[in-house]
Amino acid sequence: MGVREESHEANRETRQGSLLLCCREAFVAAPWETSSLEVPEFSSHHIISTSCERRHQRIIKNVVRSFKYLYGLRFEAKGLEHFDIDGPCVIISNHQSILDMMGLMEILPEGCVQIGKRELLYMGPVGLIMYLGGVIFINRKSTSNAKSMLAGVGQAMVADKVKVWIYPEGTRNGNGDLLPFKKGAFHLAIQTQVPIVRVVYSSFSAFYNSEKNLFTSGKVLVEVMPPIPTKGLTAEDVGELTDRCYTTMREAFFRLSGRTSEANGGTPALAQ
């Protein structure tokens, strides 16, 4: 390829990246009136039980998955058989950007609900999609409220035999590593004595970086890791369980991202 052709290709990718970033920002910032939505009080009786809620979730799943064609993204997943658990479980995964929504919908098992921070409800169309999809919003600014909500989720999760998806990093993180895990998901799993299923997505950095105006087509590797049982564990085991999940998921993240050697760089302190 000559210098002129290389320059043309670079300009084309830059234009494509700018266009896709504009599409992404328009999608997130569109003036949908989600600010007027009222967050319903969470009921511990049922998490996702009505046919209407399930239908909404299936429709949203198909709609969100279709965006991967617009963005030129491919997802290759392995280990999906680990979702085949006869009963409830807690699913945890790393969290990099708003693009995680597509990765989530690519493998979301039937009868699974997500837990998200309350602020997400007001993110335009994204918030509306999450609202209609039955996401459980938690007010993290109130520790007592968050703990009460998680206790209710635990009761309903066991009663309805559903799976609950949580991002233990607590916020989106595109720094090329995993943030320390918060312990809420692990308290929930141990309190309800249900297994934890770990899901790891490879780094998006090769094709997406909003600061560098980079957004091209790319491939995301997804690995669903074998479940970790919590039968017999107590509150005293929360720290060890959190550390085990963090370490194994961090190693998988670097391996899937082609940066295996970095996984040996030590483990940061865990979040509270």
CA nearest to 109, candidates 51, 158, 165, 53: 165
Give the pLDDT score at 65. 77
Q: How far is CA 161 from CA 37, 49, 192, 197, in A?
A: 28, 10, 11, 15
d(CA 136, CA 140): 12
d(CA 152, CA 238): 19
Give the pLDDT score at 272. 53
Give the pLDDT score at 37. 42
**Do β-strands 89-93 and 163-166 pair in parallel, antiparallel, or remain unpaired?**
parallel
**Do β-strands 208-209 and 214-215 pair in parallel, antiparallel, or remain unpaired?**
antiparallel
Report the half-sphere exposure of 160 (CA within 13 A, side-chain side).
21
Cβ atoms of 200 and 166 within 8 Å: the answer is no
Phi-psi region of 191 (alpha: psi -120 to 50; beta: other; left: phi over 0): alpha
pTM of the model: 0.74
Give the pLDDT score at 64. 75
Structural Rg of the chain based on CA atoms: 19
Give the pLDDT score at 98. 76
Contacts of 175 (CB under 8 A, 6+ apart): none
Tokens of 93: 């995964």
Helix extents (H) in the chain: 3-29, 51-71, 100-107, 124-132, 143-160, 184-192, 238-256
**Which residue has 């896709």 as its token pair?**
20
d(CA 174, CA 204): 8
Per residue in 111-166, pLDDT (tens digit) is 888 887 766 666 667 666 666 666 777 776 666 667 777 888 898 889 889 899 99
d(CA 225, CA 243): 16
Q: Which domains does the chain have, with CATH numbers?
A: 3-264 (3.40.1130)
CA nearest to 74, candidates 182, 204, 170: 204
Mean pLDDT, 10 residues at a time, the chain of 272 residues: 50 45 42 41 48 65 77 91 95 88 87 77 67 69 71 88 92 88 95 98 80 76 97 98 98 91 53 54
d(CA 252, CA 200): 7
d(CA 141, CA 184): 14
Phi-psi region of 256 (alpha: psi -120 to 50; beta: other; left: phi over 0): alpha
Per the DSSP assignment, residues forming a β-bridge with 77 are 222
- Report the run of H or E that residue 48 belongs to, with start and end: none
